[in-house]
Structure 1
Amino acid sequence: MTQENLLYEDWLIAIRERDDKGAFGKLYHHFWDGLYGHALLRTRDAQQAEDIVQELFIQFWEKRDRLDSQMTLPGYLYGMLKYKIVDFFNSNKIKPQLLDFWAEDLYVFVQQHPEELETYRALEELLSQELDRMPTNMKQAILLKWDEFSIRDIATRLGLSEQTVKNNISEGSKRLKHALLSRGIDRYSTMMVLFALQSLTTAGI
């Protein structure tokens, strides 16, 4: 066992058996930067990344009596982070302005994994179908929002109140989210759909 692993084991035993906040603080500071950096890379939102990692450590402390001192600590923490990021992508916290960053990620991913092209096309079709099922104002509001128009500008263009535009975008986003989740879309596929939405917007659909 390496010196680093021995150190991790000492921390885990101290936290589990003695509720040692000093050991927890050392663990926290040792892993914070790496976990935060990974969360920031995926969410592209500093506050959300910080909140995710803070919540991760709170849950780690709350479950301290069930810790296995022999476990691989980095793997355990990054496993927790993975599921928290998935929860983030499946939540309503995602901001429309993140689309450009995810689209860049998707472009690189598809270039490296051309076998995903068919998946992308299938998801693009799914997105198109879901948009076509929406009332005209809802569909237009969502596409204009993804095209970076403000709520005020969208309301003016569509001849609607700003509150009605907000309601349409909220309801339309829920419908798209439900369509994705009901088909078990994973995180890369979610980015594919978001990228497809940008493509459809650019095409003027």
Structure 2
Amino acid sequence: MSQVVPLHRGWLLAIKERNDKDAFGAVYRVYWEELYNHALRRVRNEQQAEDLVQELFIQLWEQRERLDTMMNLPAYLYGMLKYKIIDFFNSNKVKSQLLDLWATDLHHYVQQNPDELEAYYALERLLDRELDSMPLNMKQAILLKWDKLSIRDIAVQLGLSEQTVKNNISVGSKRLQHALLVNNSDAYSTLAVLATQSLTLLLAY
């Protein structure tokens, strides 16, 4: 570690003070693969993971004049990547893509584990019961959100304010997740976890 830190500082000094592309290339070669693998585990798409890491290094170069040469470089790079992944997940387009991905995962899991089919149907019945117990506006807001309507479109269709729609979806989402976690016989099964993740993603806005 005593050798690594001075090496990092040397790279950072060269990048900051001399616009040294060789030093920047060294940082890129050392950290690109592990940052890419970290991003891939989160976003589960090779091209998206590669794009995120490329954006990170472009930003690092563009902001080189403001670099702290005494900083912990790996921690800084992972911190940058963390916020890029958060922005990625906050993208409405990505939410739709990931929802399809989780739904596919759920389908494949049941196909590969036919003994879980009854548990899958039990989860469906559990969610149906919880939906039926909700106030009508809350149930309708959630079902329309499942159809990928925007908050504005749902508000127009139900004759409610956008804030009321958001409140109904937020409360309804928590009720559904609570039902999965509390009323399911095995709340930590792979099936229940996949279902909870799908719900969380679907009802985010």
TM-score tier, shorter chain, comes to: 0.5 to 0.7
The one-letter code sitting in structure 2 at the alignment partner of 1:26 is A
1:56·1:81 contact (CA, 8 Å) conserved in 2?
Answer: yes
Unaligned 5+ segments in structure 1 are 104-123, 143-168, 184-188, 201-205
Alpha-carbon displacement from aligned partner over 1:120-166 (angstroms, at most 9, x marks no partner)? xxxx98xx8766226x7x456x2xxxxxxxxxxxxxxxxxxxxxxxx
Alpha-carbon displacement from aligned partner over 1:156-183 (angstroms, at most 9, x marks no partner)? xxxxxxxxxxxxx3536997xx949x97
Separation (CA, whole Å) in 2 of partners of 1:84 and 1:196:
23
| Residue 28 of structure 2: aligned partner | 28
2:102·2:197 contact (CA, 8 Å) conserved in 1?
Answer: yes
Q: Report the TM-score, using the length of structure 1 for normalisation.
A: 0.56
- Are 2:150 and 1:171 aligned? yes
Q: From the superposition, tell whether residues 49 and 30 of structure 1 become closer, same or farther in structure 2 (CA, over 3 Å).
A: same
Higher RCO, 1 vs 2 (CA within 8 Å, ≥6 residues apart): 1
Identity of aligned residues (%): 46
Q: From the superposition, tell whether residues 170 and 24 of structure 1 become closer, same or farther in structure 2 (CA, over 3 Å).
A: farther
The one-letter code sitting in structure 2 at the alignment partner of 1:23 is A
Which of 99, 103, 107 is the matching residue for 2:102?
Answer: 99
Q: CA deviation at 1:97?
A: 2.7
Q: Report the TM-score, using the length of structure 2 for normalisation.
A: 0.56
| Residue 195 of structure 1: aligned partner | 198
Q: CA deviation at 1:198?
A: 9.0
Max Rg structure: 2
Q: From the superposition, tell whether residues 173 and 36 of structure 1 become closer, same or farther in structure 2 (CA, over 3 Å).
A: farther
Q: CA deviation at 1:93?
A: 3.5
State the SS of the aligned residue for 2:150: helix
Alpha-carbon displacement from aligned partner over 1:91-131 (angstroms, at most 9, x marks no partner)? 1242133325887xxxxxxxxxxxxxxxxxxxx98xx8766
Q: CA deviation at 1:63?
A: 0.4
Q: CA deviation at 1:2?
A: 1.1
State the SS of the aligned residue for 2:100: helix
Separation (CA, whole Å) in 2 of partners of 1:197 and 1:66:
38
Q: From the superposition, tell whether residues 131 and 99 of structure 1 become closer, same or farther in structure 2 (CA, over 3 Å).
A: farther
After superposition, residues 56-71 of structure 1 pair within 5 angstroms as 56-71=56-71
The one-letter code sitting in structure 2 at the alignment partner of 1:98 is L
Separation (CA, whole Å) in 1 of partners of 2:73 and 2:104:
30
Question: CA RMSD, aligned part only?
Answer: 3.9
- Are 2:135 and 1:132 aligned? no
| Residue 13 of structure 1: aligned partner | 13
Question: How many residues are treated as equivalent by the alignment?
Answer: 141
After superposition, residues 29-178 of structure 1 pair within 5 angstroms as 29-94=29-94, 95=97, 96-100=99-103, 132-133=140-141, 138=144, 142=147, 169=148, 171=150
Separation (CA, whole Å) in 1 of partners of 2:104 and 2:50:
18
Separation (CA, whole Å) in 2 of partners of 1:173 and 1:43:
28
Unaligned 5+ segments in structure 2 are 107-129, 155-164, 171-176, 178-193
